[in-house]
Structure 1
Amino acid sequence: MKSTLTKLSVAISATLLSTSALANFDFDLGNDRSLSFGGYVKADARYVSGDVAYGDQWLGNGTVLAEDASQFRIFANETRLNTKYTDGDVSGFVEMDFFGAGGNEVISNSKGPRLRHAFVSYKGLLAGQTWTTYMNTSAIAETADFGTTMMGISFVRQGQIRYTMGAFQVALENPESYGVNTDASTPKPDPKNDGLPDVIGKYTLNADWGNISISGVARQLNTDDGKSHTTIGGGIAGKINTFGKDDVRFQAHYGELGRYVGTTVAPDLYNGKAETTTAFNVAYRHFWTETMRSTAIYGYGKTDESNRKNTHWAVNVFDNLTPKLAVGFEVGEMNVNDPTQAVNNGKGSSYYGQFSMKYAF
């Protein structure tokens, strides 16, 4: 045991002191215990041109500009590190990336670490912060833009207590009444009356051809004038293998889903009413060779109360220079139709191109 720990310490120290990125570490500590380190380094060069304001990634909504603008940036925010410790039936997992607060582009370009996941699991029980149970992560397409087509997918991490029974999962998750009651231009959280957890259930069918999941969420939303709304919504998502190594990935959502779908395309509340969202995303990935592949993707998000209707399309090509080093290029367009914005009646679009290089540990 002492020898194992010594080797572990030496390996970690040598890596941290080296100029190269962390490598993939898996250590058997004996007595049914193990420790692993993982993650990846990702560098991106991104160019955006149009009248939707630049972002390092597209979200479900964007800020419409009075005039066209162009911006180019090189960054490595998406880089992430994780570690997992297993002790018999118990495991703990922690992951961070670098989308947190930090410096500026004048001097250091520093970015603070941000907690992504932190949870413990034991015999089907999970507690901590991770992807919402509502999500089907396999239905998210491969893209250079970290946001993919956000307005069409479910993309939420939060605190929760989840229990998995075979193909069925049920969870109590962190509540948040996000939205506006009077000022339509300034979405804001109003959590003071959020006294009940969100309840989520999901059933996933797995087979040789892929998987399909059906999920639903029930919540109590609260306004700042003391009113509450009981809301429900649901979705279907999956990944289907087609020809050879090709696959199609899809998501479709409808209901009073708010923040669970679209990453800002829809607030939970709008002018005191629960927002209803219709969203879908479809992506097809084709392998040109054993390692070279392309994805064509389209996302759509529509809201009833705020009357937003946003879309995002993209096409890309990726190839692996080595089994763990991938490079890719993507082009696409973000379209915003958001009447709550005064500039240009809330209508705008921007094209973008992005080059990415990712080394997975």
Structure 2
Amino acid sequence: MRKPITQLCYGLSYGLTLCALPMSLAAQTFNVGETQVKFSGFFKLDAMVTDTEYGQLDFPARDFYVPSLTPVSGESEGLKYDTHARQTRFIFTTTTPLDNGKSINGHLEFDMMSTAGGDERITNGYSPSVRHAFFTYDRWLFGQTWSTFMDTSSLPESLDFIGNTDGAIFVRQAQVRYTNGNFQFGIENPQTTLTPFGGGARIVTEDSGIPDLVARYNFKGDWGSLSVAGLARQLSYDTGVVDESETAFGVSVSAKILLSNKDDLRVTFSSGDGIGRYLALNTANDAVVSDDGSLEAITATGAAVAYRHLWNERWRSNFVYAAFDADNNTDYTGAAVTKTTHSGSANLLYQVASKFMVGVELRYANREIEAGADGDMTRLQFTAKYDF
């Protein structure tokens, strides 16, 4: 006679206890001592056919849309087909009760999007990279996660890694964040990206002695949500010979508006001097080095709108348009830097079952540089995704 399936616990060293739960729960929750650990995530396969007007895309633009990498020159090389499972994601969350009656919560998350690809001839290995690693206690957050300057609710449902990339604030970094009601305040890791005088390869510095400072106000109602955020930062460049700094400011406004039939509209607008690292995947740098060695902040602006429509219980679509603009001083930056980018996409998603989705997405993108040259990219993307 078979015994009923019950929870089995094993004593480990250092006073830890690992409990194996019934199979229906084992994939999600287990205990390590007093800490409850939950494992979740998804598997995702992407297959893409990409055509560029000029040249050829390089990593990481072969795997997801990067506005600054759309070619504006070179010989057209025809269609390119790529398949990867890089967006597959694994998430561990923890909750530990404390002796003061409160609890402390942790979040650790991995994917494989930002690391160099392995050998596609045989093994197709991807190195995992940390997306989030933080813990929260009471009103405080400590660790790496989305910047307080970013509103994740404004991101559209897209098969692409981001979707509204040209107009999106998109940064994950180490920080300390305090939340009080609708207000959030972040002290975040500083980093400066510079265009050298006359143009050329990006300069990345770690010279700031002041963290990036963010304040955000979030409001939610029956109609949806609204978020307003401000950013203040110091741009710094210190070579031992040159020691320059510049103050930078930015603002971001975003909203998610709920419509009938569970449709929604998501909009975002961001602008500022010296916010290039935060906007459109650093399409423009924060500042340019002038002829006398000082820093001049670059004004960058991005906007996006996304409409999500449910056709019925199984089918839904998302229509997205996003644009980016940089106000470059070409006397300093040269004419090869990006002036504008924009992209539009539409997808059709089919919910096969509650945890299984397939879909197709068409994207068109354009980039123009200050010299006037521009180039297009068109991509058709197919996706299969299993959430757990």
TM over 0.5: yes
The answer to whether structure 1 residue 211 and structure 2 residue 242 are counterparts is no
For 2:225, give the aligned amino acid. Answer: N
1-side partners of 2:9 and 2:179: how far apart?
Answer: 34
User: Which residue does 2:250 correspond to in 1?
Assistant: 233
Q: 1:71 aligns with which of 69, 73, 80?
A: 80
The answer to whether structure 1 residue 308 and structure 2 residue 323 are counterparts is no
Identity across aligned pairs (percent)? 33
The answer to whether structure 1 residue 285 and structure 2 residue 308 are counterparts is yes
For 2:302, give the aligned amino acid. Answer: A
Q: 2:288 aligns with which of 266, 270, 273?
A: 270
Aligned residue pair count = 347
Measured at CA, do residues 137 and 299 of structure 1 come closer, stay the same or move farther in structure 2, by a change above 3 Å? same
Task: Encode CA deviations 1:94-143: one digit per residue, 9 max, x unaligned.
Answer: 00001223412111110000010000110010010000001110110011
The answer to whether structure 1 residue 296 and structure 2 residue 323 are counterparts is no
2-side partners of 1:349 and 1:9: how far apart?
Answer: 54
Which residues of structure 1 form unaligned runs of 5+? 16-21
Q: 1:161 aligns with which of 172, 176, 184?
A: 176
Question: Deviating runs (4+, > 3 A) in structure 1?
Answer: 2-12, 27-31
1-side partners of 2:243 and 2:225: how far apart?
Answer: 42
User: Which residue does 1:130 correspond to in 2?
Assistant: 145
The answer to whether structure 1 residue 261 and structure 2 residue 279 are counterparts is yes
1:1-361 aligned within 5 A: 3=7, 5-6=9-10, 10=20, 24-27=27-30, 33-50=35-52, 51=54, 53-54=56-57, 55-64=62-71, 65-69=73-77, 70-88=79-97, 89-99=103-113, 100-191=115-206, 193-224=207-238, 225-256=242-273, 257-271=275-289, 272-305=295-328, 306=337, 308-339=339-370, 346-361=373-388
2-side partners of 1:39 and 1:52: how far apart?
Answer: 36
Task: Encode CA deviations 1:332-358: one digit per residue, 9 max, x unaligned.
Answer: 111011237xxxx54100111000011
2-side partners of 1:42 and 1:53: how far apart?
Answer: 25
Cα pair 1:58 1:149 within 8 Å, conserved: no
2-side partners of 1:45 and 1:177: how far apart?
Answer: 35
Moved more, 265-274 or 242-251: 265-274
Q: Larger Cα Rg: Structure 1 or Structure 2?
A: 2
Secondary structure of 1:223's counterpart equals strand
Cα pair 1:181 1:223 within 8 Å, conserved: no
**Deviation, structure 1 residue 23:** 7.6
Cα pair 1:52 1:336 within 8 Å, conserved: no
Cα pair 2:266 2:305 within 8 Å, conserved: yes
For 2:215, give the aligned amino acid. Answer: G
2-side partners of 1:23 and 1:177: how far apart?
Answer: 44
Q: How high is the TM-score relative to the length of structure 2?
A: 0.84
Measured at CA, do residues 124 and 184 of structure 1 come closer, stay the same or move farther in structure 2, by a change above 3 Å? same
**Deviation, structure 1 residue 10:** 4.4
**Deviation, structure 1 residue 315:** 0.4
User: Which residue does 2:14 correspond to in 1?
Assistant: none
Instruction: Calculate the aligned-residue CA RMSD, in Å.
Output: 2.3
2-side partners of 1:266 and 1:23: how far apart?
Answer: 46
Moved more, 226-235 or 182-191: 182-191
For 2:281, give the aligned amino acid. Answer: T
For 2:314, give the aligned amino acid. Answer: T
Secondary structure of 2:261's counterpart equals coil
Cα pair 1:61 1:151 within 8 Å, conserved: no
